[in-house]
A and B are shown apart, each in its own frame.
Chain A
Amino acid sequence: MDQELRELYQQVILDHNKSPRNFRLIDHPTNHAEGYNPLCGDNITVFLNIIDKGIIEDISFQGSGCAISKASASLMTSLLKGKSVEEAEKIFNKFHELVTDKLGDNPDIDELGKLAVFGGVREFPARVKCASLAWHTMISALHNKNEKVVTE
């Protein structure tokens, strides 16, 4: 496989694509939102249960998408469970900077942990939306906006 392609489709991504974590419905979520990518027709719904202190007690997703978008949603839900809303927003910003190449060539990826595997997406401008759809949808759900998130 080509090196650049291998960077994009790292084993972690292939694994999360094959067995996505938290790929389920939450029956009575406190927050949820739907995201849509008109370029490929991908649809995702993110569900959250936020308890009183602003802690994400549970988070899950459903929908259809490519390996990048599914793995991104899977890793996002794994990472954000137990985090505060404030932390979630902070991680979102960092992730967004990573995939849109705002961190430069040597991103400080410590905070991102496993999410660093999405660094390869920077080289594929057409695929950035795949990686960020779940995240934009999560932010919309946090703010309990009713409008559908659409990446353009």
Chain B
Amino acid sequence: MHNKNSTLVESYSKLYDVRKIREDFPILKIMVHGKPLVYLDNAATTQKPQYVIDKTNNYYEKYNANIHRGVHALSQEATEAFESSRIIIKNFINALGKNEIIFTRGTTESINLVASSYGRKNIKEGDEIIISTMEHHSNIVPWQMLCAEKNAKLRIIPINEEGEIIFEEFEKMINEKTKFVSVVYASNSLGNVNPVKKIISLAHSYNIPVMLDAAQAVNHLKIDVQQLDCDFLAFSGHKLYGPTGIGILYGKVNHLEAMPPYQGGGDMISKVTFEETTYNELPHKFEAGTPDIAGAIGLGAAIEYIEKIGLENIAYHENILLEYATKAVSDLQGLRIIGTAKEKIGVLSFHFENVHPHDVGTFLDFEGVAIRTGHHCTQPLMRRFGVPATSRASFGMYNTIEEVDVLVNGLKKILEVFG
């Protein structure tokens, strides 16, 4: 191993007890093809600590009931746990009020909610919506659908070879026709962190609202929505060591107040007659039907767990893993790293000249290593870099330097077979 890297390892291990953290995650003990699991697919979904699993189970075992309805004890307890989670989340991203926190099924639904409710009301024929080249399909397709419906135009901020947004191009693109900007905070395919503060400031100088897809950023960067001044922000629970099926839409209260409901049903009303319906107040106006109560409770628990470890410590740890891995794979023959921005989260995407990512994925699986191979739901981005797919290793709070070594040794074996 590299000398500089080993100094790095020594200096960080004193600060961060990764062994202890690993003990909190039961799944990390399993074996895959007879090898210990090396889980490096955290950008797809993170594993869950026992604390989250217990909190979720506890709801089903001890106080399972529907919320916001019953007067009985269980219903009150469930409502209280559900609403406490909302406050944990509000504090986590420093929203002004809990009425700005909407529970959804995930980032995808959060973006669809904004495109459908805000978009349909405010976007007119000839208007323009700006996104970037590195968007996940979930931040492309809802806007494409809206543009098709309204005869509006979707414009795309180009990126450079490092995978960074070319800010000057965004400056040129924005004009009086622009009515909405939606960009990813940190790219799931590249790991690059976008200059969202600059993007928001510029858009706001034209009075244009900005939505951030924070799905990959939220478990690595401290998010303060008031400081960012974003109008909307979306993220998912399952990438934050919480359950699947639950996510968050943050929206500034003035926008949410003015927006029509997204779905109709129970919980989002205050009075219904067959002639007309009065909608419930925020945030319930956007939460029709029985939500994923256990999921919301689990997400609150996940944030409690993260805050116990410290988001800054996690980010520091992941940065070290990324730096170590980036150096280690750079020596491999024919390997090209896709996404080389200065500021990155713990995502390492790469492509071999002569080995297809799917073959890489299958070989690594037999080493116990789980990575993602494919287009990562960012096909336009893959086209931009001229590759059909990449291999992506993404790091979480429980990964170790030794696991990176297993990855790199696996890659070396692959090169022996395909070389």
Report A's interface with B, CB cutoff 8 A: 1-2, 4-5, 8-9, 14, 17-18, 39-43, 64-68, 70, 124, 127, 130
Q: A5–B363 contact, CB under 8 A? A: yes
Assembled-state Cα–Cα distance A4/B417 (Å): 15
Q: B374's contact among A17, A40, A64, A68, by CB below 8 Å, is which? A: A40
Minimum Cβ distance to chain A for residue B32 (Å): 11
Report the separation of the CA atoms of residues A2 and B364 in the bound assembly, to the nearest whole angstrom. 11
Contact A66 B374, CB 8 Å, known A14-B418, A43-B388: no
Total number of residue pairs linking A and B with CB closer than 8 Å: 54
Instruction: Give chain B residues whose Cβ lies under 8 Å from the Cβ of A40.
Output: 356-358, 373-375, 388-389
Asked if B362 and A124 make an inter-chain contact with CB atoms under 8 angstroms apart, the answer reads: yes
Residues of the A chain whose Cβ atoms lie less than 8 Å from the Cβ of B362: 5, 8, 124, 127
What are the 3 A-B residue pairs with the smallest beta carbon separation, nearest first? A66-B356, A66-B358, A41-B388
**When the two chains form their complex, are residues B366 and A41 in contact, meaning their CB atoms are under 8 A apart?**
no
**Residue B379 lies at the interface, judged by CB distance under 8 Å to chain A:** yes
* Cross-chain contact A1 with B417 (CB below 8 angstroms): yes
- Min CB gap B410→A, angstroms: 12
Chain A residues lying within 8 Å of B171, measured Cβ to Cβ, are none
Distance, CA A127 to CA B356, complexed state (A) = 13
With an 8 A cutoff between CB atoms, is B62 at the interface? Answer: no
Q: Which of A5, A8, A64, A130 contacts B388 (CB 8 A)?
A: A64
From A41, A65, A70, B375 is in contact (CB under 8 Å) with A41
Question: Contact partner of B359 among A1, A43, A67, CB < 8 A?
Answer: A67
* Alpha-carbon distance A36/B366, docked complex (angstroms): 27
User: How far is A18 from B358 in the complex, measured between Cα atoms in Å?
Assistant: 15
B33 neighbours in A (Cβ, 8 Å):
2
Instruction: Give the distance in Å from the alpha carbon of A68 to the alpha carbon of B359 in the complex.
Output: 8
**Centre residue among B357, B362, B382 by max chain A CB count within 10 A:** B362
Considering the complex, give the chain A residue whose CB is closest to the CB of B416: A1
- Cα A1 to Cα B362 in complex, Å, equals 12
A18 vs B417: C-alpha distance when bound (angstroms): 11
Q: Which residues on the B side are within 8 Å of A41 (C-beta)? A: 374-375, 379, 382, 388-389
Write out, one digit per residue, whether chain B residues 344-372 have a CB within 8 A of any chain A CB (1) or not (0).
00000000001111110011001000000
Best-surrounded residue of A4, A14, A18, A41 (most CB of chain B within 10 A): A41
Chain B residues positioned under 8 Å from A127 (CB to CB): 358, 362
Q: How far is the CA of A127 from the CA of B366 in the complex (A)?
A: 14
Docked CA distance A1–B355 (Å):
17
Q: Chain A contacts of B389 at CB under 8 A?
A: 40-42
Q: Give the distance in Å from the alpha carbon of A1 to the alpha carbon of B363 in the complex.
A: 9
Q: Can you offer 23 A-B residue contacts whose CB atoms are under 8 A? A: A1-B413, A2-B33, A5-B366, A8-B362, A9-B417, A40-B356, A40-B389, A41-B374, A41-B375, A41-B379, A41-B382, A41-B388, A41-B389, A42-B388, A64-B356, A65-B356, A65-B388, A66-B358, A67-B356, A67-B359, A67-B418, A127-B362, A130-B358
Sample of 18 further A-B pairs with CB below 8 A, known A40-B375, A40-B388, A127-B362: A1-B413, A2-B366, A8-B362, A9-B359, A9-B417, A17-B418, A18-B354, A40-B358, A40-B373, A40-B389, A41-B382, A42-B388, A42-B389, A64-B388, A66-B357, A66-B358, A67-B359, A130-B358
Q: How far is the CB of A80 from chain B (nearest CB, A)?
A: 23
A21 to B121, CA, bound (A): 56
A39 close to B374 (CB less than 8 A): yes
CA distance A124 to B366 in the complex (A): 12
Tell me the bound Cα distance from A132 to B382 in angstroms.
23
B145–chain A nearest beta-carbon distance, Å: 18
Chain B positions within 8 Å of A70 at CB level: 356
A4 CA to B358 CA, complexed, in Å: 16
- Against A, the Cβ 8 Å flags (1 = close, 0 = not) of B387-401 are 011000000000000
